[in-house]
């Protein structure tokens, strides 16, 4: 009988260990993550003032997908990418030709074409965040979630 | 005559007598006869053997063969024979009377002759038989070698191949063969009886035929039951759209009779959770391609182009003016299942750029243990618990339940899940806070460790990127690796395309790479990012070794993981699947590809279709191609030529021409098994062709 109890205990211990397996989450060596700087660099941002010439919803080949504003500035016409969230749908802004805008962002060259990546956009009536600090487009309806995220960061 | 004169005469005469009687040939005594005579008549170009024997020719000089009328009477091979030996006479190409002449070589005046009448071919005597028959049945698009032999055709004109019903019966390469020569017959794309016909070229009335039944790879009637589906993509405003649900299909009737779905569309900002499906329809062609129409109560009707992989698994892409969105349709085998025990999950939200995944242990109502990662807009956090505040509800009659996953970093995800089977669930967020979709798979009963990645695997992923100096806003990647069983990769390469004009091809994955898998299946792979355009931190969440993450109802191909990319400038979701040793790539495959392109303008696209691989170098087929803002084109041609990468077995490259485009899409294939190949598009905008894409080849069974 004692021998049988011993086997039972062993089986129970084995069963408990199997069940308990997933409860011990951090059993493996912690993985050291790689920290890579974001491609979008807020330190290289500039602010442009200009007037809207056109809204391009179907961009040319090789340019960033999503809507672009063609903005007339003191330095010439700037191709400013703003994505689609502020052009169509619930959060669309009624852009008009000749409308003044203030754009903060970073100029990059993509496929031999200069594009101004807009992070924030200010019109007469509103100021909106187009991108976050890492350059990802921000959906206006997701602000509640985004509001909890620090503006800088990376790997743990 | 005196005695001396007599001796002189004898001295001269005896040798002459000797010579004349036995020591030399008496030319005049030579005779010749045709001993194997030609037939009295021959057909034009027909051949006959013949022989002549020379007698009284001690020199054995043999026979010279000729004929009249000279130049138009035929030929002999050889033209000179030994006495009694055979020559082969070939009749001329024109009809008429011919005299065959056998002449003694020693004395050409000694001849024998035979008259032969050369007739035009009597085509009525020709016969033909199929000597290498086709199989009694073939699957659509499949090929077989066949041959036919013609007899009594002295013209050797050969065989012409055809079939009925004309135009829909298949093809022959070549369509004309020599008698006995082999042609390759390829079955049509449509099912049904086909008659293969071999006709004598000399007399087309002389034919032989064989019947072949062309079998469909799928039929609508076999697509019957409740299926769980999901599709993720982009709406007409080029903003994310997603749907997941279950749909009741009566394939025999071609109808959709019910179901339920969750849907969101960012441009319209419509969110329709638990939306009853009212009706719809389904068609399936013999090649497995077809259409599924789903009409929900609140959301817009969805028209999907579909390709059947098997009766339980179908690739789909939305093919209407509303959206292009790709996913799958999988038979719901266990509608009452709720995630219990260990599960791995991966969620991706293209709308507000976040990925969230990990492993959890479920009691069926709550999470009792967990370990997860997330990345919101390039800010990643690793290895946290999501136990507090998380919960499950049981599924309804359509296999829909709900899950709350409480991410401590950015709040709760209110998700609907749709059951595929006891260990497979499709997830979609319906709270309007975020717009995540994904899958959750059971982990079985086994414990995991570094050894779980200690063999060969293929992976693929796609997602969004923050366009800094490069890129177009989306990316895709695929690769293969072999883990050493503890913490490093012993081999591995990947192709990465950020759309920056410089895709990374066969980029090394081994240098500086580490991985870790915990007992609960939570893990990750960390690259340096130096060779992979910044892709560096992968979350890896192991699934049940019996679960096939690409086809959850499949009994084979199980194991692997769901995958997240958790980087500062890229966020994505994908899968890791085991890689078989020496798989084949032959037969009919469902094919999908979706991503972004830059042809005449930038747009997102989706494509689903069917291709046939010849097993050596070529694929060809048809697909429905939705270039969302450019065109929507059904049944585009697909034609590719693939070349194995000798340095990296399992990897191949393929220029794939879509719809006859001047510039092919260049895709890289990573073969997981004979049934599954992942591919990634490695074009750049400079190619002015499809630039970023990801998809699969799945063998139709």
d(CA B424, CA B334): 10
Q: Are strands B570-578 and B586-598 parallel, antiparallel or unpaired?
A: unpaired
A110/B519 CB distance under 8 A? no
Tally of CB atoms within 10 A around B553: 17
The model's pLDDT over B524-567, given as tens digits with 9 standing for 90+, comes to 999 999 999 999 999 999 999 999 999 999 999 999 999 999 99
Of the candidates A33, A65, A138, which has its C-beta nearest B596's C-beta?
A: A65
d(CA A65, CA A58): 8
Could you write out the three-class secondary structure of B594-653?
Answer: EEEEECCEEEEEEEEEEEEEECCCEEEEEEEEEECCCEEEEEEEEEEECEECCCCCCEEE
DSSP output for B665-684? EEEEEEE-SSSEEEEEE---
**Dihedral sign computed on CA atoms, order B64, B65, B69, B71:** negative
Strand order in the sheet with B537-542: B504-508, B489-497, B474-483, B456-465, B570-578, B561-566, B537-542, B522-526, B514-517
Considering the four listed CATH numbers 3.30.2020.10, 2.60.120.650, 2.20.28.10, 2.40.50.140, the one that applies to the domain covering A42-146 is 2.40.50.140
Minimum distance, in Å, between the CA of residue A115 and any CA atom of chain B: 9
Instruction: Read off the pLDDT of each residue in B398-411 and give the average, rounded to a whole number.
Output: 93
pLDDT (0 to 100) of residue B46: 86
Q: B352 — contact with chain A (CB < 8 Å)?
A: yes
d(CA A78, CA A100): 13
Q: Are B468 and B670 in contact (CB under 8 A)?
A: no
The model's pLDDT over A80-130, given as tens digits with 9 standing for 90+, comes to 999 988 998 888 999 999 999 999 999 988 777 889 999 999 998 889 999
Report residue B686's pLDDT band, with 50, 70 and 90 as the boundaries. Answer: low
Chain A positions in Cβ-Cβ contact with residue B689 (cut-off 8 Å)? none
> What residue in A sits closest to B342 (Cα-Cα)?
A22
Report residue B471's pLDDT band, with 50, 70 and 90 as the boundaries. Answer: low
Q: CATH number of the domain at B220-331, please?
A: 2.40.128.120
Least confident range of B16-25, B51-60, B613-622:
B16-25
pLDDT (0 to 100) of residue B4: 56
The model's pLDDT over B50-91, given as tens digits with 9 standing for 90+, comes to 999 999 999 999 999 999 999 999 999 999 999 999 999 999
The better pLDDT of the pair A109, B488 is held by B488
Chain A positions in Cβ-Cβ contact with residue B377 (cut-off 8 Å)? 132-134, 136, 138, 146, 149
Mean pLDDT across chain B: 92
Q: Are strands B207-215 and B137-139 parallel, antiparallel or unpaired?
A: parallel
Residue closest to B33 by CA, chosen among B97, B92, B83: B83
- The DSSP call for residue B286 is T
Burial class (CB in 10 A: 0-12, 13-18, 19+), B95: middle
Tally of CB atoms within 10 A around B388: 10
Q: B454 — contact with chain A (CB < 8 Å)?
A: no
B471/A23 CB distance under 8 A? no
Q: CATH number of the domain at B29-119, please?
A: 2.60.40.1080
Q: B493 — contact with chain A (CB < 8 Å)?
A: no
Return all residues near A14 (Cβ < 8 A) that are at least 6 apart.
none
pLDDT above 50: residue A156 = no
Domain with CATH 2.60.40.1080 in chain B: 29-119, 123-215
Q: Which residue ranges make up each domain of chain A?
A: 42-146
- Main-chain dihedrals φ then ψ at residue B368, nearest 5 degrees: -100, -15
d(CA B41, CA B502): 76
Q: What is the pTM of this model?
A: 0.84
A145/B359 CB distance under 8 A? no
Chain B positions in Cβ-Cβ contact with residue A148 (cut-off 8 Å)? 409-411
pLDDT above 70: residue A17 = no
The model's pLDDT over B228-271, given as tens digits with 9 standing for 90+, comes to 999 999 988 888 999 999 999 999 999 999 999 999 998 888 99
Minimum distance, in Å, between the CA of residue A57 and any CA atom of chain B: 9
A153/B435 CB distance under 8 A? no
B268/A89 CB distance under 8 A? yes
Degrees to nearest 5, angle at CA B338 with B522 and B361? 25
Chain A positions in Cβ-Cβ contact with residue B234 (cut-off 8 Å)? none
Q: B687 — contact with chain A (CB < 8 Å)?
A: no
With a pLDDT cut of 70, the percent of chain B lying above it is 94
pLDDT (0 to 100) of residue A29: 54
pLDDT (0 to 100) of residue A20: 36
Of the candidates B380, B432, B602, which has its C-beta nearest A155's C-beta?
A: B380
> What residue in B sits closest to A57 (Cα-Cα)?
B237
Top-level CATH class of B123-215?
mainly beta
CA B90 to chain CA mean position, Å: 49
Helices H, strands E: what count in chain B? 1, 53
pLDDT (0 to 100) of residue B16: 45
B516/A60 CB distance under 8 A? no
pLDDT (0 to 100) of residue B24: 60
Q: Are B427 and B439 in contact (CB under 8 A)?
A: yes
B516/A150 CB distance under 8 A? no
Of the candidates A26, A36, A65, which has its C-beta nearest B383's C-beta?
A: A26
Report residue B20's pLDDT band, with 50, 70 and 90 as the boundaries. Answer: very low
With a pLDDT cut of 70, the percent of chain A lying above it is 71
pLDDT (0 to 100) of residue A9: 35
Domain with CATH 2.40.128.120 in chain B: 220-331
> What residue in B sits closest to A152 (Cα-Cα)?
B379
Degrees to nearest 5, angle at CA B500 with B495 and B504? 20
The model's pLDDT over B569-593, given as tens digits with 9 standing for 90+, comes to 999 999 999 999 999 999 999 999 9
Q: Are B571 and B558 in contact (CB under 8 A)?
A: no
Least confident range of A3-7, A105-109, B132-136, B169-173:
A3-7
d(CA B677, CA B679): 6
């Amino acid at each position: 009988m004692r021998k049988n109890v011993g086997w039972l205990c062993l089986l129970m211990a084995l069963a408990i260990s199997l069940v308990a397996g997933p409860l011990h989450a951090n059993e493996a060596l912690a993985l050291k993550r790689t920290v890579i700087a974001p491609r979008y660099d807020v330190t290289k941002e500039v602010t442009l003032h200009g007037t809207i010439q056109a809204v391009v919803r179907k961009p040319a080949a090789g340019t960033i997908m999503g809507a672009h504003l063609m903005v007339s500035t003191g330095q010439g016409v700037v191709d400013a990418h703003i994505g689609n969230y502020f052009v169509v749908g619930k959060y669309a802004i009624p852009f008009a030709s000749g409308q003044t805008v203030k754009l903060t962002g970073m100029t990059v060259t993509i496929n031999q074409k200069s594009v101004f990546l807009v992070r924030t956009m200010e019109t007469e009536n509103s100021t909106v965040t187009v991108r976050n600090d890492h350059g990802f487009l921000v959906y206006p309806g997701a602000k509640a979630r985004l509001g909890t995220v620090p503006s800088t960061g990376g790997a743990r | 005559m005196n005695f001396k004169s007599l001796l002189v005469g004898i001295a001269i005469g005896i040798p002459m007598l000797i010579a004349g009687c036995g020591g030399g040939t008496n030319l005049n005594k030579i005779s010749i006869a045709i001993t194997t005579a030609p037939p009295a008549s021959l057909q034009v170009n027909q051949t006959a053997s013949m022989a002549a024997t020379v007698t009284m020719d001690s020199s054995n000089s043999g026979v010279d063969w000729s004929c009249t009328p000279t130049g138009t009477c035929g030929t002999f091979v050889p033209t000179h024979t030994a006495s009694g030996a055979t020559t082969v006479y070939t009749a001329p190409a024109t009809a008429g009377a011919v005299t065959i002449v056998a002449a003694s070589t020693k004395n050409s005046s000694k001849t024998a002759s035979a008259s032969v009448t050369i007739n035009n071919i009597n085509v009525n005597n020709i016969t033909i038989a199929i000597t290498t028959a086709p199989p009694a049945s073939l699957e659509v698009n499949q090929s077989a070698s066949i041959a036919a032999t013609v007899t009594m055709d002295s013209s050797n004109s050969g065989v012409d191949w055809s079939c009925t019903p004309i135009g829909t019966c298949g093809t022959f390469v070549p369509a004309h063969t020599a008698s006995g020569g082999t042609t390759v017959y390829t079955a049509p794309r449509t099912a049904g009886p086909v008659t293969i016909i071999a006709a004598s070229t000399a007399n087309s009335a002389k034919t032989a035929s064989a019947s072949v039944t062309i079998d469909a790879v799928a039929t609508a009637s076999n697509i019957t039951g409740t299926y769980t589906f999901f599709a993720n993509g982009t709406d007409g405003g080029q903003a994310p759209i997603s749907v997941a649900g279950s749909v009741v299909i009566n394939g025999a009737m071609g109808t959709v009779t019910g179901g339920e779905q969750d849907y969101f569309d960012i441009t319209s900002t419509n969110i329709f959770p638990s939306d009853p499906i009212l009706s719809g329809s389904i068609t399936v062609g013999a090649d497995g391609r077809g259409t599924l129409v789903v009409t929900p109560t609140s959301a817009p009707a969805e028209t999907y182009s579909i390709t059947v992989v098997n009766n339980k698994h179908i690739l789909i892409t939305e093919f209407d003016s509303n959206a292009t969105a790709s996913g799958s349709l999988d038979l719901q085998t266990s509608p009452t299942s709720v995630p219990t025990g260990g599960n791995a999950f991966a969620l991706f939200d293209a709308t507000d750029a976040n990925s969230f995944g990990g492993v959890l242990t479920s009691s069926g109502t709550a999470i009792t243990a967990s370990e997860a990662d997330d990345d919101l807009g390039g800010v990643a956090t690793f290895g946290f618990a999501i136990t507090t505040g998380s919960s499950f509800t049981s599924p309804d009659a359509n296999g829909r339940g709900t899950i709350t996953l409480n991410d401590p970093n950015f709040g709760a995800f209110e998700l609907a899940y749709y059951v595929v089977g006891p260990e497979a669930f499709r997830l979609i967020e319906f709270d309007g806070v975020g717009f995540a979709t994904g899958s959750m798979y059971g982990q079985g009963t086994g414990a995991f460790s570094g050894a779980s990645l200690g063999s060969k695997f293929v992976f693929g992923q796609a997602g969004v990127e923050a366009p800094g100096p490069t890129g177009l806003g989306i990316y895709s990647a695929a690769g293969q690796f072999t883990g050493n069983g503890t913490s490093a990769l012993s081999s591995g390469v990947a192709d990465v395309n950020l759309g920056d004009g410089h895709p990374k091809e066969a980029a090394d994955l081994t240098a500086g790479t580490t991985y870790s898998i915990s007992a609960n299946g939570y893990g990750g792979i960390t690259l340096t990012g130096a060779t992979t355009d910044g892709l560096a931190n992968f979350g890896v969440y192991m699934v049940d070794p019996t679960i096939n993450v690409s086809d959850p109802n499949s009994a084979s191909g199980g194991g692997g993981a769901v995958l997240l990319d958790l980087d500062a400038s890229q966020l994505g979701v994908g899968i890791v699947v085991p890689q078989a040793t020496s798989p084949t790539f032959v037969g009919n495959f469902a094919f999908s590809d979706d991503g972004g392109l830059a042809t005449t303008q930038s747009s997102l696209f989706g494509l689903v279709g069917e291709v046939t691989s010849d097993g050596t170098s070529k694929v060809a087929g048809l697909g429905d191609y939705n270039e969302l803002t450019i065109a929507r084109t059904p049944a585009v041609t697909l034609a590719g030529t693939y070349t194995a990468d000798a340095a990296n077995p399992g990897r191949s490259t393929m220029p794939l021409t879509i719809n006859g485009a001047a510039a092919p899409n260049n895709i890289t294939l990573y073969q997981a098994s004979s049934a599954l190949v992942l591919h990634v598009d490695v074009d750049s905008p400079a190619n002015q062709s499809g630039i970023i894409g990801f998809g699969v080849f799945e063998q139709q069974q």
